[in-house]
C-alpha cells in the first residue's frame, strides 16, 4: 500500500494500540514524522508535535536549512541566575518549559476538566 505522512500521524495518535500513551502518570513526550523524497532536488520535510500527547497535538512542518532561527515560542527560556551554571550546580530549579509546551499543558488541563 501507499503510506502517507497523514497515515503515520494517525498511527502515532492511536491510544488503543498503546503507541500513544496517556495513562498512569506517563504520557508520550512528542512525536515526529519525516517525509524523505526519492528526488534529491526536493527537501525533506519533518513534522514535529513539540508537545506531549500526539492525539491532542498538531504536527508542525519543518525543513532544515542553513541560517534558520528558531521561533521564540519553542525555545526554552534562559536565566541570568541559571542553576545549571552556578556552583554548586542545581541548588534551585527553574521552569524551562517553552511557551508552546506551557500553552499545550494548559489546554490539556482544560480538556481534562471538561471530561
pLDDT in tens, 32-91: 999 999 999 999 999 998 777 888 888 989 998 888 887 888 888 899 989 999 899 888
CA pair distance 96, 93, nearest whole angstrom: 9
What's the domain count of the chain? 2
Region label for 10, one of left (φ > 0), alpha (ψ between -120 and 50) or beta (otherwise): alpha
Q: Are residues 56 and 91 in the same domain?
A: no
Q: Are residues 46 and 3 in the same domain?
A: yes
Q: Are residues 5 and 27 in the same domain?
A: yes
DSSP string, 24-49: TTEE----EEEE--SSTTSPPEEEE-
Q: Are residues 58 and 93 in the same domain?
A: no
Mean predicted confidence (pLDDT) in 86-100: 89
Specify the pTM: 0.64
Residue 1: band (very low, low, confident or very high) from pLDDT cuts 50, 70, 90: low
* Cell numbers given for 74: 519553542
Torsion of CA 92, 51, 101, 110, to 10 degrees: -110
Which residues form the domain of 57?
1-68
Q: Are residues 54 and 84 in the same domain?
A: no
Amino acid at each position: 500500500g501507499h503510506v502517507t505522512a497523514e497515515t503515520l500521524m494517525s498511527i502515532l495518535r492511536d491510544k488503543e494500540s498503546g503507541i500513544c500513551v496517556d495513562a498512569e502518570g506517563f504520557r508520550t513526550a512528542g512525536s515526529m514524522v519525516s517525509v524523505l523524497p526519492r528526488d534529491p532536488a526536493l527537501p525533506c520535510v519533518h513534522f514535529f508535535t513539540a508537545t506531549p500527547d500526539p492525539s491532542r497535538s498538531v504536527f508542525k512542518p519543518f525543513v532544515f536549512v542553513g541560517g534558520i532561527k528558531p521561533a521564540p515560542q519553542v525555545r526554552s527560556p534562559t536565566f541570568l541566575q541559571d542553576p545549571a551554571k552556578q556552583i554548586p550546580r542545581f541548588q534551585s530549579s527553574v521552569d524551562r518549559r517553552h511557551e508552546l509546551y506551557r500553552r499545550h499543558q494548559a489546554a490539556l488541563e482544560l480538556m481534562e476538566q471538561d471530561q
